[in-house]
Amino acid sequence: MNRAKIEKTNAARLLDRAAIAYELVPYAVDEEHLAATHVAAQLGEPIECVFKTLVLRGDRTGLFVCVVPGDHEVDLKAAARVSGNKKADLIPMKELLPATGYIRGGCSPIGMKKALPTFVHATAVEHPFIYISAGVRGLQLKIAPQDLVRFVRASVADLSRPM
C-alpha cells in the first residue's frame, strides 16, 4: 500500500506534534477475527511485538488502561494492584467508545478522549519496537516502546499471563 494513501489518525497526529518517530502500518481487517493474533499474522510479525489496549475499571480509581502482548490476557489482580485498586474488571464493550473515542479492534493508548492512567506490560521494553493500534481497525503504529511509555506517561509493570 502506498504510504501517501494512509489516512493519518488522531494518534499519529499527536505523535507528529510531539516529534516522536513512528510508522503507520496497514493490515487487512477481518471483522470476524479482531484478535491481536490475526493482526500479527497480517503484519508478518511475532505476536510478542503486537500489543493490545484494554480499558479497565478499578473499584477505587475508575478507568485505566493496560497495554499487553497480543498472546496474553490481562491479569486482573495484577492490574488492580499496580493501579491502586483492590479489584478491577474490563469495561463492557458498549462503554468503550463513549469512554475512549475508540471501538473494539481500534483502541489506541494514544489520543483517548481523556488521558487515563496507563500501564504497559514489562515485556514491551524488551523490544526495539512494538505495534499498537493507530486508533482505527486496519492500521497499527510501529513505535519504540520507551517513546510510547514516555508519551502516555505510562508505568511499566507485569500485567498479564499467557493465554
Sequential DSSP letters for 64-79: EEEEEETTEEE-HHHH
Apex CA 117: angle with CA 87 and CA 89, to 5°? 25
Percent of the chain with pLDDT over 90: 83
Determine the residue type at 7: E
Strand partners, 157: 121
Tens digits of residue pLDDT in 48-100: 999 999 999 999 999 999 999 999 999 999 999 999 999 999 999 999 999 99
Question: What distance in Å separates the CA atoms of residue 65 and residue 49, rounded to the nearest whole number?
Answer: 18
- The pTM for the full model equals 0.92
Question: What distance in Å separates the CA atoms of residue 77 and residue 93, rounded to the nearest whole number?
Answer: 20
Alpha helices in the chain (DSSP H): 10-17, 36-43, 76-82, 93-100, 145-151
**Cβ neighbours of residue 52 closer than 8 Å, sequence gap 6 or more:** 36, 67, 68, 69, 70, 133
Q: How many CB atoms lie within 10 A of CB 16?
A: 11
Averaged over 106-111, what is the pLDDT?
A: 96
Tens digits of residue pLDDT in 33-53: 778 888 999 999 999 999 999
pLDDT at 134 over 80: yes
The 3-state DSSP composition of the chain as helix, strand, coil percent (nearest 5) reads 30, 30, 40
Question: What distance in Å separates the CA atoms of residue 141 and residue 100, rounded to the nearest whole number?
Answer: 18
Bridging pattern class, strands 160-162 and 118-121: unpaired
Question: What distance in Å separates the CA atoms of residue 123 and residue 23, rounded to the nearest whole number?
Answer: 20
Lowest-confidence range among 30-34, 76-80, 120-124, 151-155?
Answer: 30-34
